[in-house]
Amino acid sequence: AKDYELRQYETAKWVSTVIKGETQKESMRQGFWKLFHYIQGKNEKEMKIDMTVPVTCLVKSGCADFKISFFVPFEHQDSPPQPTDSDVFIEERKAAAIFVRSFGGFASPEKYAEEAEALARVLKNRGQPFHEDFFYTAGYDSPFKLFNRHNEVWYFKK
């Protein structure tokens, strides 16, 4: 479909942290830095790990906790170094079919919410079953990239 795509993701490990009781924007900022310190060597092996994309944020309806995650690079998928910060953890996300809507520009929490609403509307109109109680935001660019930015919202197919 022109307004979204359906992707199949394999099981994969992500390094994540949950920020509670902050705005989504502030949670993203705090979460990003916790995870950035992990890839800079704040882990059991004191190993530097390449930054990967996307950076995701789990947004649940009516919930003020946000889970921020970095994808663990392929070469570390089998045994990622364990975090030394107790707020940071490795999680395995199961293989899933995901509805994806892409958009450009600088994404704010409001813009992500607007795009997620638009995707949900299209999926409902097309009779596509999906988990409506949460979505992920996915950012692919450094904050310093000014043009041709790529952002996504993801809903998991039921």
pLDDT tens sequence across 41-54: 999 999 999 999 99
Dist CA 59 CA 20 (whole Å): 12
Half-sphere exposure (Cβ direction) of 116: Cα atoms closer than 13 Å: 25
Model pTM score = 0.95
Average pLDDT over every residue of 62-71: 95
**Of the CATH numbers 3.40.47.10, 3.50.50.60, 3.20.80.10, 3.40.50.300, which one belongs to the domain with range 5-156?**
3.20.80.10
Question: Cβ atoms within 10 A of the Cβ of 17, count?
Answer: 23
Of 61, 62, 155, 72, residue with least CA distance to 115:
155
Q: Are 107 and 135 in contact (CB under 8 A)?
A: no
Average pLDDT over every residue of 9-27: 96
